[in-house]
Amino acid sequence: MAVRADNLDVRDDFSLLIGGELVGGDEWLDVINPATEQVFGRCPAASATQLDEAVNAARRAFPAWSRLSYEDRSTFVTQYTSVLAEHYDELAELLVREQGKPIAQARAELDSCLTQANDTVELEIPVELLVESDTHRIELHYRPLGVVGIITPWNAPAALALGSLSSAVYIGDTVVIKPSPYTPLTTLKMGELAREIFPPGVVNVLAGGDELGQQLSEHPDVQKISFTGSVATGKKVIASTAATLKRVTLELGGNDPAIVLEDADPKAIAKRMFFACFVNCGQVCMAIKRIYAHEDIYDELCEVLTEEARSARYGSGLDPENNLGPLQNKMQFDKVIEIIEDTKQSGARILVGGDTPDRPGYFLPPTYVTDIDEDHRLVTEEQFGPIVPILQFRDIDDAVRRANGTRYGLSGSVWTADTERGKAVAQRLEVGTAWVNQHRAISAYVPFGGAKESGIGRQHSVLGLKGYMEPQVISVTNQESG
Ligand code: NAD
């Protein structure tokens, strides 16, 4: 068990999970509650030796685990989601304390990943018949890869860990999970609960800093990295995996455009658009990060979105009345403040928000900006915070060109009364997912991932599951014809 710290005000009941054992570490990671800026929890940080132990445990567990049937493994996963559901309130509160999001959004994160895990294990990966003749039969099978390293960011730690974990173990891989050092605690608790269900070594959880992620990516006994995080780190991960030619799924950042056509009704869509901009304080890979509004509805859209922002409440995520929590960490908070300052200096117009409240916690109000240049960093970068530009267009070709004028390509949306026209515009967006009249809708049955620099590969659906597997051709002919 982890060694207990002396400071009783700070929660320290967290352990690493290695080979079915809950263990401590030689060093500790402090975890800050972003609503108070105080350390509220600490957990062991894994050493390079413990990483080796975890990978070895996963490697040893792999042969027996991968030989089980899909049905047997799906039972393990659903038993696991039941145990997680029994600890729902405890996990949701811990998630709020370490991540900052409002309690309703923490619950929504847990709800969606539990549903997604349960739905994932309903998916089937059938053998594909490629050629069949009197003499030949060629089939395409999919085999599990071995040990998968799962590296997650701080914005949705529970969902991103469980999403990759459930996919990987369901198809027969074993896993070593490394959450962000900013938000390791919910994932460690999920590891503790995984110990009650999975055979030793199938699921291992290690907290640690960026260097642990790099060591995991380089490890010769890891066959795949499932990485979720920023574009910059994704590029480092792919470099680290090159020496061993690991398989990778990279789920990276986005700069999602939302195009609002002239026939859209601003009042009807305002609440959904506001939520898609500012859920989790804008710290969502697929949040709306730029709005392109047709000139005919531009003023009205600005008005209704401003109204939504004015009526939103921000503050501690534990207060159910609040719709926005704090930014998750000081680095992100400072970055967004810098963007706000740059925006003000550029002469752009702040419609609502834009101030930096003088209070503890990394809080910023929801902010909409207009009259901003297309090449301003608020438009070109992934801001990952509660400030969104509203830009005007007259001609749809121009809007599509500007929406696509980015190295990002995660997702985007089109808002219109005419769904057929919306679909036609959606098809022109260079993104992994293009929604019409919605944004951020995901499910276990639908692949999700980025085009361009927003990622490689897909999560979820059969396509996503195949990313955790190696295709294998089985080509058979009879003795006489071979
Ligand atoms: P980050 O890239 O800084 O860190 C992500 C994880 O990578 C952390 O666990 C970190 O410790 C680890 N890491 C850092 N350096 C590493 C290295 N050299 N090798 C291996 N691992 C390393 O990202 P973040 O700031 O925690 O998260 C925010 C980013 O994540 C945003 O860009 C957001 O859009 C993106 N994101 C993408 C998706 C998606 O599905 N596409 C989902 C959520 C978040």
pLDDT in tens, 31-52: 999 999 999 999 999 999 999 9
Average pLDDT over residues 68-96: 98
Say if ligand 1 is within 6 A of residue 252 CB: yes
User: What is the pLDDT, as a whole number, of residue 9?
Assistant: 79
Average pLDDT over residues 184-212: 98
Which of ligand 1's atoms lies nearest the C-alpha of 229?
30
User: What is the pLDDT, as a whole number, of residue 81?
Assistant: 98
Residue with CA at minimum distance from ligand 1 atom 19: 214
Cβ distance 212 to 50 under 8 Å?
A: no
Say if ligand 1 is within 6 A of residue 447 CB: no
319 backbone dihedrals φ, ψ, rounded to 5°: -85, 115
280 backbone dihedrals φ, ψ, rounded to 5°: 55, 35
User: What is the pLDDT, as a whole number, of residue 482?
Assistant: 67
User: What is the pLDDT, as a whole number, of residue 6?
Assistant: 45
Cβ distance 253 to 233 under 8 Å?
A: no
20 backbone dihedrals φ, ψ, rounded to 5°: 85, 0
Say if ligand 1 is within 6 A of residue 402 CB: no
- Residue 275: burial class (beta carbons within 10 Å; 0-12, 13-18, 19+): middle
Which of ligand 1's atoms lies nearest the C-alpha of 214?
19
CA of 251 to the centre of ligand 1 (A): 9
CA of 183 to the centre of ligand 1 (A): 12
Cβ distance 27 to 6 under 8 Å?
A: no
Percent of residues, the chain, with pLDDT higher than 90: 97
251 is catalytic: yes
Average pLDDT over residues 424-442: 97
Binned at pLDDT 50, 70 and 90, residue 78 comes out as: very high
With a cut of 70, say whether residue 7 has pLDDT above it: no
Cβ distance 97 to 40 under 8 Å?
A: yes
> Mean pLDDT across the chain, nearest whole number?
97
- Single pTM value for the model: 0.97
The 8-class DSSP code of residue 10 comes to S
In tens, the pLDDT along 294-316 reads 999 999 999 999 999 999 999 99
Say if ligand 1 is within 6 A of residue 285 CB: yes
Average pLDDT over residues 106-124: 98
- Active-site residue identified among 281, 285, 302, 382: 285
How far is it, in rounded angstroms, from Cα 326 to Cα 315?
A: 7
How far is it, in rounded angstroms, from Cα 185 to Cα 178?
A: 11
How far is it, in rounded angstroms, from Cα 182 to Cα 204?
A: 19
Residue with CA at minimum distance from ligand 1 atom 15: 210
User: What is the pLDDT, as a whole number, of residue 60?
Assistant: 98
How far is it, in rounded angstroms, from Cα 1 to Cα 456?
A: 38
Average pLDDT over residues 62-89: 98
Helices 88-99, 103-120: inter-axial angle, 10-degree rounding: 120
Residue with CA at minimum distance from ligand 1 atom 30: 229
How far is it, in rounded angstroms, from Cα 370 to Cα 388?
A: 9
Say if ligand 1 is within 6 A of residue 228 CB: yes
CA of 389 to the centre of ligand 1 (A): 24
Size of the chain, expressed as the number of residues it contains: 482
Binned at pLDDT 50, 70 and 90, residue 480 comes out as: confident
Say if ligand 1 is within 6 A of residue 262 CB: no
Q: What is the largest CA-CA distance in the chain?
A: 84
Residue with CA at minimum distance from ligand 1 atom 13: 210
In 154-265, alpha helices (H): 157-170, 185-195, 210-218, 231-242
Say if ligand 1 is within 6 A of residue 237 CB: yes
Q: Report the half-sphere exposure of 49 (CA within 13 A, side-chain side).
A: 5
User: What is the pLDDT, as a whole number, of residue 2?
Assistant: 36
Say if ligand 1 is within 6 A of residue 253 CB: yes
Counting ligand 1 atoms within 8 A of each CB, the residue from 150, 151, 206, 459 with the most, and so the one to mutate, is 151
Cβ distance 150 to 185 under 8 Å?
A: no
Strand-pairing partners, residue 248, are 225
With a cut of 70, say whether residue 158 has pLDDT above it: yes
User: What is the pLDDT, as a whole number, of residue 8?
Assistant: 53
